[in-house]
Amino acid sequence: MRNTLIFTTLFMVVLYIGACSKKVAILPEDTRGKSTVPVENTDAKMKSPVIVTRDKTAQAVETQDYQFRDIYFDYDRYELKSETIEILSEHARQLKENQNVKVLIEGHCDEWGTIEYNLALGERRSNSVKSFLVKYGISPDRLSTISYGKERPLDPEHNASAWAKNRRAALVTGS
């Protein structure tokens, strides 16, 4: 009797673990109107990815040792958040001090959303960054934008952390 009870309990535990291990990707929470901090900003110290380009003049050039960190966005959003405005202001200061540097602002999206819609959303994100820099006083001639939609994710995984990293604008510098 006692053994049966133990066995049944173990069996239920095993079933429970088995049920929990099936991970299904679930739509990220819509945070419209809520301010969120980007998840796991572990890439902050990493260089912005260099786009593979046939145009040899657009080589990535680091402005001394300054890292142009990615600007993150909320799910389905393209507005700048208060935390990212601080980072972007720092980027703007750097650009003001180094007038010869040009920037290509890439807009990227997570995998939620269609290919075509995300191309437009990515463009909105890069344009948000460009508008901010122009308002800051950077000449628009130094700024160009491109959207990659969801075609070039930084993190190919299918979880909230990867999606947060992929919802970004990246600043790629050249001269």
Helix (H) or strand (E) holding 34: none
Stretch that binds other proteins, among 8-16, 60-68, 83-91, 113-121 (CB under 8 A): 113-121
Q: List CB contacts of 123: < 8 A, sequence separation 6 or more.
A: 107, 145, 147
The answer to whether 127 contacts other proteins (rule: CB under 8 A) is: yes
Stretch that binds other proteins, among 2-10, 42-50, 89-97, 147-155 (CB under 8 A): 147-155
List, in sequence order, every residue forming a beta bridge with 102; answer none if it has no partner.
Answer: 174
Q: Cα angle vertex 55, ends 53, 60, to 5°?
A: 65
User: Phi and psi dihedrals of 128, rounded to 5?
Assistant: -60, -45
Whether 170 contacts 49, CB under 8 Å: yes
Stretch that binds other proteins, among 13-21, 66-74, 93-101, 107-115 (CB under 8 A): 107-115
The answer to whether 115 contacts other proteins (rule: CB under 8 A) is: yes
Q: List CB contacts of 157: < 8 A, sequence separation 6 or more.
A: none
The answer to whether 131 contacts other proteins (rule: CB under 8 A) is: yes
Q: By rule CB under 8 A, what string of x and - marks binding of each residue 12-31 to other proteins?
A: ------------xxxx----
Q: What is the distance between the alpha carbons of residues 64 and 141, in angstroms, rounded to a whole number?
A: 22
The answer to whether 58 contacts other proteins (rule: CB under 8 A) is: yes
Q: What is the token pair recorded at 90?
A: 């720092």
The answer to whether 152 contacts other proteins (rule: CB under 8 A) is: yes
Closer CB to other proteins, residue 117 or residue 136? Answer: 117
Closest CA to 129 of 150, 144, 112: 144
Q: Exactly one of 68, 72, 75, 148 binds other proteins (CB under 8 A); which one?
A: 148
Q: Exactly one of 39, 60, 146, 160 binds other proteins (CB under 8 A); which one?
A: 146
User: Using CB under 8 A as the criterion, which residues of the chain lie in contact with other proteins when the complex forms?
Assistant: 24-27, 51, 53-55, 58, 78, 112-117, 119-121, 123-124, 126-128, 131, 146-149, 151-152
